Amino acid sequence: MKEPIRILVGKPGLDGHDRGAKVISSALKDAGMEVIYTGIRQTPEQIVNTAIQEDVEAIGLSILSGAHNILLPKIVELLDKNGAGNIKVFAGGVIPDEDIEFLKDNGISDVFTPGSSLERVVDVIKQTLNRE
């Protein structure tokens, strides 16, 4: 049997709305994953450091402040710089359709917008990590 998926859930930037991040964390736990939740108001550097320290396979970033196009690519870039480019990064929150392509081009594996089902979030993460 494979080890459970280890995933970091974090909130980059100054946005404090953590309902989504907490609901997703609970759902990922219920799906058998090991979840490390960073809490709110994390800088990209803090998120990357925690991800590396905790040796996670994936990061889920929740952001509702509109700063996604700046902060999310920065996190991917920092992961690469620190030799952790293998960590998959997912994003969720209030992210307009037209920004999703930009984020995917900048290393975000998938983006979950409002109304996404928990089941789909879990499935996509498992599929991306080849852990079905």
- Structure token pair of residue 105: 């081009």
Classify 98 as helix, strand or coil. Answer: helix
What burial class does residue 97 get, using C-beta atoms within 10 Å of its C-beta: 0-12 exposed, 13-18 middle, 19+ buried? exposed
Q: How many residues bind another protein (CB under 8 A)?
A: 36
Residue 26 vs residues 31, 46, 65, 66, 71: alpha-carbon distances, Å: 9, 22, 22, 24, 24
Minimum distance, C-beta of residue 128 to another protein, in the bound complex (Å) = 21
Using the rule CB under 8 A, which residue among 47, 61, 71, 111 binds another protein?
A: 71
Using the rule CB under 8 A, which residue among 31, 52, 100, 118 binds another protein?
A: 118
CB 47 within 8 A of CB 12: yes
5 to 64, contacts with another protein by CB under 8 A?
13-19, 22-23, 25-27, 29, 35, 37-41, 43
For another protein, the binding residues (CB under 8 A) are 13-19, 22-23, 25-27, 29, 35, 37-41, 43, 65-67, 69-71, 94, 96-98, 113-115, 117-119
